């Protein structure tokens, strides 16, 4: 997807503050952090949302969560929140699956 900003990050066309990579994932710091630790974990292959990824490649879907856990541990956080936004009304603005890893502040419920 040539117009997808996350595909362009994976391809190395757009710089990002990458903190972790695996065969299937890339994790990088969010440019508009909502917590002291706010990292986006994305699959290297383009899938529009979390459900599409889970259907097409369940192993990659699980790897997003494992990558997020590895980043949280490396950054010194035992407690963290993982968030998928699926669809515009849920707050998704980039339609390439991405997992938000948030840590370093109290998280309230329900989220906003």
Please list the active-site residues: 98
As a three-state string, the secondary structure of 12-48 is CCCCCCEEEECCCEEEEECCCCCCCEEEEEEECCCCC
Instruction: Decide: helix, strand or coil at residue 83.
Output: strand
């Amino acid at each position: 997807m040539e117009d997808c900003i996350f595909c362009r990050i994976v391809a190395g066309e757009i710089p990002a503050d990458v903190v972790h990579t695996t065969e299937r994932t890339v994790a990088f710091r969010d440019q508009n952090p909502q917590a002291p630790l706010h990292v986006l974990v994305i699959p290297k292959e383009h899938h529009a949302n979390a459900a599409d990824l889970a259907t097409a490649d369940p192993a990659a879907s699980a790897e997003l969560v494992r990558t997020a856990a590895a980043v949280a541990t490396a950054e010194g956080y035992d407690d963290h929140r993982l968030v998928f936004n699926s669809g515009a009304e849920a707050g998704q603005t980039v339609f390439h699956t991405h997992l938000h890893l948030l840590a370093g502040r109290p998280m309230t419920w329900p989220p906003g």
